[in-house]
Amino acid sequence: MSGICGIIDLTGAALDPTALRRMTNVLERRGPDGTHVWREGPVALGHTLLATTPEALLEGQPFTHPETGCTITADLRLDNRDELRTALGLAAQKRVIGDAELALHAYLKWGEDCPRHLLGDFAFAIWDPCAGRLFCARDPMGMKQLIHCHLPGRLFAFASEPHAVLEAEGVPRRINELRIADYLAGGLEAVDATSTFFEQVYRMPPAHIMTVGRDGMTQRRYWRLEAGPELKLGSDRDYAEAFLEVFTKAVRARLRAPAGTVGSMLSGGMDSGSIVAIACRLFAKEGRGPLPTFSGIGPDPETCAETRAIHAALTMPNLAPTLVNWAEMEGYAEDLIALTREISDPFDGHMTMMRAICLHAHQDGIKVLLDGAGGDLCFSNSAHVPRLIRQLHWIEAWHETAAENHFWGGEASTLRTWLTYQRRAWMPLWVSRAKRQLLDRHRKVNLGLCNPDFAARVNLAARKAQERRQWPTGRLSHGAYIAHVLQQGFETAARERYDRTAAARAIEMRAPFMDARVMQFCVALPLRQLTQDGWPKILLRRSMATLMPDAVRWRSGKEHLGWAFSQALTRHWEGWNALPQEDRVGRYAALPRRDALAALPEEGLNLTHLVEWLRGRD
């Protein structure tokens, strides 16, 4: 992870040599290993380096191609370097070629189609002097960020973070009140893939390219995850071995980092656990290790299933664990409070456990952390039981309903769940659509913490309806359903939240389940490789048969300690709920009485995070 930024004066006037300095100052926490700026006439590009690949230690950015004058600034990791070197005619060169240079050569060979040839995580911008335009691209799943502001005929500015874009002279600094409503209403973080908390400052959507010049800006999608033909193999073992081959490639690619700088998050679940199971053995095979792992735990394994599972996971070989206990926060609470008060986005407020882990990882010299995000969606069972019911597999459907209830420890009876699935299975699509439309027209809008007048002014009801339209309609195949949900706004929003939280401590997050090869494999799986006997992720469990402790592999249910960390923080944060005068947030929020905040800790924290963020804008 590095910071990238740039400015184009669309009037053609030459930029001041110091025009980018304020932008790079903002980004240097993200990229503390070196800052460089390139300028030519009305264009300037900047780069703040976090050296997270061996090649990045030797590659200078912004990088200029001497023959064409094209210049790139990039935040990227390419996982198909050997194939690219061959395709680009660079295989015979003995010198070290960085990922940014490879991306630039890909642009010179394939033009706007170049992102289709790149495997990995990337956000980059290339100034092409011959075409007189800037070309930008973002990776398919939005692992890297690119934020921009376009003032037609005047200015285009971009950066890895909104606050850096705001530092470009001429960019308005007005708060986007619609995004404030998204935050206060709850559940609207992922309502779209473009909004930021500032007017006229936008996120570039994943899997998109953008071109900018004096004649305007264009943007289009270049890639989409599609469900192809179903993968047909001979046995469960064949599927497990095939998945393990693909998944191992994804994990190995994300371990590419300078020695001693890569580690992994480790929860008590299957996703991060499977990553660590592969990574620790790859480390041992390559003579590296042990693998540093970082886990958020509670004080008592006897009463906390998550903590017990983490201790079981730590019996895997070749690990160097760090356990971050929410009940032992005294040693790091002050730093954690400071990081929380400096969040760059209100939605990041409740990432307390993640911040605590990044704080400890940074102290240990870690620059790269692997995480298990995306695993739940890659193995989503997508209405497994209703599909069995429609196929008239009654006994199997009942068995799966009972087993699923047992796995999740649901309060509803198996019969009640069964009847719910029956309605979903047989309700005609036109009835389902009509019901949704009727509810949208007459649904009472849940305002959350929004002031009613403010909610009416920004038309919160329309925003809520927009969010609901993201969910798939119709009876999609399970592969098409997984492909759909993986590409919806909530997954992008989660990745961006991880990126911002880790960036505060100069750490790059990498997610093997978000590898295009893994996702393409998962959308092609037969349904019985996704869930069986009530066990979700059954293929993942089978593939880890000899690699992961059974106490983790066959653990039922799911528990998350994030809220425990946030609650623990309030016990060390004196005055956390002492909200300032109403004129700061009262125009947006329905403020509870101060004596009510103690009884509403989550709502109180939400308001506190917004207040701290607004204070930072003053």
Q: Which helix (H) or strand (E) holds 73?
A: strand 71-78
- At 549-601, the pLDDT tens digits run 999 999 988 888 999 999 999 999 988 877 655 567 888 988 765 555 555 67
Render the burial of 88-103: b for 16+ CB within 10 Å, e for the rest: beeeeeeeebbbbbbb
CA distance 191 to 560: 24
Cβ pair 62, 124 in contact under 8 A = no
Find how far residue 513's CA is from the centre of its chain: 11
- The residue among 550, 563, 599, 604 whose CA lies nearest residue 270 is 550
pLDDT for 328: 95
Both tokens of 477, joined, read 């195949």
pLDDT for 594: 55
Q: What percentage of the chain exceeds 90 in pLDDT?
A: 73
- The residue among 552, 58, 584, 32 whose CA lies nearest residue 295 is 552
Both tokens of 231, joined, read 């993968």
Cβ pair 122, 78 in contact under 8 A = yes
CA distance 611 to 76: 34
pLDDT for 163: 96
Cβ pair 6, 14 in contact under 8 A = no
Cβ pair 84, 117 in contact under 8 A = yes
Low-confidence ranges of the chain (pLDDT < 50): none
Amino acid (1-letter code) at residue 365? G
Start-end of H helices in 48-206: 81-87, 99-110, 162-166, 177-185
CA distance 503 to 482: 29
pLDDT for 361: 98
- The residue among 240, 249, 271 whose CA lies nearest residue 528 is 240
pTM for the model stands at: 0.93
Which structural domains are found in the chain, ordered by start?
A: 3-221 (3.60.20.10), 236-377+490-564 (3.40.50.620), 383-476 (no CATH), 576-617 (no CATH)
Q: Which helix (H) or strand (E) holds 74?
A: strand 71-78
Cβ pair 611, 584 in contact under 8 A = yes
CA distance 231 to 115: 26
Tokens 């880890």 appear where?
544
Amino acid (1-letter code) at residue 512? P
Cβ pair 420, 384 in contact under 8 A = no
Other beta carbons within 10 angstroms of residue 327's beta carbon come to 13
CA distance 21 to 37: 8
CA distance 130 to 110: 16
